[in-house]
Amino acid sequence: MTGWERFTDSFFNARVMAQYLPKIVEGFFLTVELAALIIVAGLALGLLLALVRAFAIRPLNWLIIFMVDLFRALPPLVIIVLLFFGLPNAGVELSGFVASWLALTLVLMAFSEEIFWAGITSVPKGQWEAARSTGLGFVQTLAWVVLPQALRITIPPLTNRTIAITKGTALASVVAVPDILGAANAGVSFSFNPSPLTLGAIAYLVLFFPVVVLGRWIETRFAWKR
């Protein structure tokens, strides 16, 4: 066997790939489901916290800032492991899927809150004043004037963060979730051949490449009309 043949046999072994493709496809859809649930819940909670913060209620804001800093400081894997192995001691049993979802949702919530908040504060004070001077209330100004502008500037950093954090769904394999990486790892251990990992990499590309392209499209779509 030449080196090249050894390489293709290890990483592009058609027999092994065919055998584990169904598992990887299952893992793919599980990863999509997990990622979608994280994105929806994480971004919604992040936006909600940023909006609450806009009301400038001191004790509430301290609490939000503490939570946000906490989940930005902790490595996502540590949160997953704490929720999965730690919570049962407190009488709460979470499945690996739920523990991973909750952990990454909290992380995305924290990061996206900061991004949404930065977006809200970056809208010039003059926008608030112009709107309020025409009789719009605080909430109306936030909803119709400030938020639409804030969301536009948040789109690039938000897209990047969201992609980075949802790629963290691979961590779920640590708590026995058969996502793409979990399925690929299982395939490697049974077949003693790393080809399933190649399939896994392809699956991740198929999943995230369109997301990256979509992010780029949204960015140009929402640029100010000149």
Partner 1 sequence: MPGPGRAPIVEARAIHKHFGHLHVLKGVDLTVAEKELVFLIGPSGSGKSTLLRCLNRLEDPSSGSVVVDGIDMLDPRTDINKARQRIGMVFQSFNLYPHMTALGNVALALRKVQGMGKAEAEAKAAAALDRVHLADRADHYPLQLSGGQQQRVAIARAIALEPRVMLFDEPTSALDPELVGGVLAVMRELREDGMTMVVVSHEMGFAKAAADRVVFMSDGAIIEEGIPSEIFTNPSHERTRAFISQIERH
> Which whole-number Å values give the CA distances from 212 to 78, 90, 201, 218, in the listed order?
27, 39, 16, 10
Q: Which is nearer to partner 1, 59 or 126 (CB)?
A: 126
Minimum distance of partner 1 from residue 150's CB (angstroms): 10
* In the complex, least distance from residue 152 CB atom to partner 1, rounded to whole angstroms: 7
Would you tell me which residues interact with partner 1 (CB under 8 A)? 124, 126-127, 129-137, 140, 144-145, 148-149, 152, 224-226
Residues 129 and 126: their CA atoms lie apart, in Å, by 5
From the CB of 157, what's the least distance to partner 1, in Å?
19
- Distance CA(181)–CA(167), nearest Å, equals 11
The answer to whether 110 touches 46, Cβ cutoff 8 Å, is: yes
Q: Measured between alpha carbons, how far is 176 from 99 in angstroms, rounded to an integer? A: 11
Q: How far is the CB of 124 from partner 1 (least distance, A)?
A: 7
Cβ-proximal residues to 126 (8 Å cutoff; 6+ apart), any chain: none
For partner 1, the closer CB: 152 or 167: 152
Integer Cα distance of 152 and 211 in angstroms: 18
Q: Is the CB of 49 or the CB of 145 nearer to partner 1?
A: 145
* Pick 132 or 167: Cβ nearer partner 1: 132
| CA dist 168 → 9, 72, 143, 161 (Å) | 29, 14, 32, 11
Cα–Cα distance measured from residue 162 to residue 42, given in angstroms and rounded to the nearest whole number:
9
Q: How far is the CB of 120 from partner 1 (least distance, A)?
A: 14
Indicate the residue among 151 and 188 with the shorter CB distance to partner 1.
151
